[in-house]
Amino acid sequence: MSKRDYYKVLDVPKTATEAEIKKAYRRLAMKYHPDRNPGDSEAEERFKEAKEAYEVLADQQKRAMYDQYGHAGVEAAAAGARGRGGPGPADAFGDIFGDVFGDIFGTARRGGRSQVFRGADLRYELELDLHQAVFGHTVEIEVPKLIECEVCHGTGAAKGGSAVTCDTCGGAGQVRISQGFFQLQQTCPKCRGAGTLIRNPCDACFGQGRVRRTRKLSVKIPAGVDTGDRIRLAGEGEAGRNGGPPGDLYVEVHVREHPIFERDGEHLSCEVPISFATAALGGTVEVPTLDGNVALKIPTETQSGRVFRLRDKGVKPVRGSSRGDLFCRVVIETPVHLSAEQKELIHQLDESLRHGGSRHAPREKGFFEGVKRFFSGA
Q: Specify the higher pLDDT residue, 242 or 203.
A: 203
User: What's the DSSP call for residue 237?
Assistant: S
Which parts of the chain are beta strand (E)? 122-128, 137-148, 164-165, 174-179, 182-187, 196-197, 210-221, 230-233, 249-255, 262-264, 267-274, 283-287, 294-298, 307-310, 326-332
Whole-angstrom distance, CA of residue 249 vs CA of residue 238? 8
pLDDT of residue 132: 94
| Residue 188: band (very low, low, confident or very high) from pLDDT cuts 50, 70, 90 | confident
Q: Are the C-beta atoms of 184 and 97 separated by less than 8 Å?
A: yes
Rounded to 10°, the helix 41-57/60-69 angle is 100
pLDDT of residue 359: 64
3-state secondary structure of 90: helix
Mean pLDDT of 136-152: 92
| DSSP annotation string for 204-218 | TTTTSSEEEEEEEEE
Q: How far apart, in Å, are the Cα atoms of 376 and each of 13, 35, 365, 372? A: 74, 70, 17, 6
Whole-angstrom distance, CA of residue 18 vs CA of residue 106? 20
User: What's the DSSP call for residue 117?
Assistant: B
Rounded to two decimals, what is the model's pTM? 0.58
Domains of the chain are 6-105 (1.10.287.110), 122-255 (2.10.230.10), 270-334 (2.60.260.20), 338-378 (no CATH)
| Max Cα–Cα distance, the chain, nearest Å | 115
Q: What is the dihedral of CA 191, 192, 196, 197, to 10 degrees?
A: -40
Mean pLDDT of 22-38: 85
Rounded to 10°, the helix 71-83/60-69 angle is 130
Residue 273: is its pLDDT beyond 60? yes
Give the model confidence (pLDDT) of 82-127 as tens digits: 544 444 444 444 444 444 444 444 433 434 444 677 899 999 999 9
Give the model confidence (pLDDT) of 251-266 as tens digits: 999 999 999 999 999 9
Residue 81: is its pLDDT beyond 70? no
Give Cβ neighbours of residue 296 (< 8 Å, ≥ 6 apart).
Answer: 272, 284, 285, 286, 287, 308, 310, 328
Paired with 326 in beta bridges are 268, 310
Most confidently modeled range among 169-183, 194-208, 279-293: 279-293
Give the model confidence (pLDDT) of 47-57 as tens digits: 889 889 898 88
Percent of the chain, pLDDT > 70? Answer: 81
Whole-angstrom distance, CA of residue 87 vs CA of residue 300? 93
Mean pLDDT of 273-300: 93
